Amino acid sequence: MIQEPTDAIIRVLVSCICGSDLWPYRGHDSIPEGGRPMGHEAVGVVEEVGPAVRTLKPGDVVLMPFAISDGTCELCQEGLTTACVHLNFFGSPGIGGAQAEAVRIPYADGTLYKVPVRETDRELLSHLLTLTDVMGTGHHAAVTARVAPRKTVAVIGDGAVGLCGVLAARRLGAERIILLGHHPDRLDLGRTFGATDVVTERGEAAVERVLELTKGLGAHSVLECVGTQEAVEMAVETVRPGGAIGRVGVPHHAGIPAAPTFFKNAVVAGGPAPTRAYMPELVPDVLEGRIQPGRVFDLTLPLDQVAEGYRAMDERRAIKVLLEP
């Protein structure tokens, strides 16, 4: 129900399970007593709006990014909606989750993004859904890693974010895209998205292979899409001197090695992706068919089978699970 004048209520059309949802599922993140709402990515239909909502009305189809932002503060105006002065995240205490039939949206004008589609456009909805997190996050990795035409890119991680990072790097004109991963089906999709090379080795062998492919220099841009200590160290070892690392994997590591990045003059950037700010740029590419990031969804389940979706992703039987009411 509406709690604040700036709220909206959306009926969820499609949502999904994120790789980051597996951290609490596996017991690596604490869960408050009594549980917590889950899910932070959704496409929905506006059902009700508070009296202060100005840009939305019932019946609008909207994208719900993972972060709540007012859209008016100085940081939002600068495009960093994940640093909004009213920032909160779906799935946080007191905030609803998207793995549900409906969600209350605080600061609806600033958080939601209206799209000119019908709720019956199911395939299109799946592509748009990725813009609320994984495609927007992959794009953020590419932007902060300074991907540009005629450059070489290394993408660490063949999960949904890493695969979308490949797609983002291709979209930004990278000449060579090296995807590091271990799952044949995911690597095949990565090739379809634009990977020119794949590296299946692990640890130091993977680093040596990337250096071999880049004549010992490393990649101009490295997209770190995992968040583990091993992935971060691999990013530092494979970035070219003067290059940049875009880190978007939720950190579960001690820190970033300071000396190697210092002596390489390497830029380390990234963080929670301001996906709401990227939507005006990315939505037209989805609507016009230039990118199809929804192909990362390889299993669709009804909402009441969400537990099976978690099992499938935990057991690597699915890249990313789409949930329908």
Tell me if 1 is assigned to some domain.
Answer: no
- pLDDT given at position 237: 97
CATH of the domain at 171: 3.40.50.720
Which of 252, 231, 55, 84 has its CA nearest to residue 158? 231
Tell me if 304 is assigned to some domain.
Answer: yes
Tell me if 123 is assigned to some domain.
Answer: yes
Domain match, 145 and 224 both: yes
CATH of the domain at 96: 3.90.180.10
- pLDDT given at position 153: 98
Which residue in this structure is represented by tokens 């192909």? 295
Tell me if 163 is assigned to some domain.
Answer: yes
Angstrom distance (rounded) from CA 318 to CA 22? 13
- pLDDT given at position 82: 98
Low-confidence ranges of the chain (pLDDT < 70): none
End-to-end CA distance of the chain: 19
Angstrom distance (rounded) from CA 239 to CA 241? 7
Would the CA dihedral through 258, 262, 266, 270 be positive or negative?
Answer: positive
Domain match, 57 and 178 both: no
Domain match, 44 and 129 both: yes
Tokens linked to 323: 């949930």
Contact criterion met (CB below 8 Å) for 184 and 192: no
Q: Which domain holds residue 62?
A: 8-133+274-324
Tell me if 23 is assigned to some domain.
Answer: yes
Domain match, 231 and 129 both: no
Q: Which of 269, 287, 307 is the endpoint of a domain?
A: 269
Domain match, 265 and 143 both: yes
Angstrom distance (rounded) from CA 135 to CA 156? 15
Q: Which residues pair with 211 in a beta bridge?
A: none
Contact criterion met (CB below 8 Å) for 285 and 128: no
| Cα three-residue angle 147-204-268, rounded to 5 degrees | 35
Which residue in this structure is represented by tokens 């709690």? 3
- Supply φ then ψ for residue 228, to 5 degrees: -90, 165
- pLDDT given at position 43: 98
Number of domains in the chain: 2
Domain match, 147 and 251 both: yes
Angstrom distance (rounded) from CA 4 to CA 68? 14
Tell me if 253 is assigned to some domain.
Answer: yes
- pLDDT given at position 255: 82
Domain match, 251 and 279 both: no
Domain match, 113 and 228 both: no
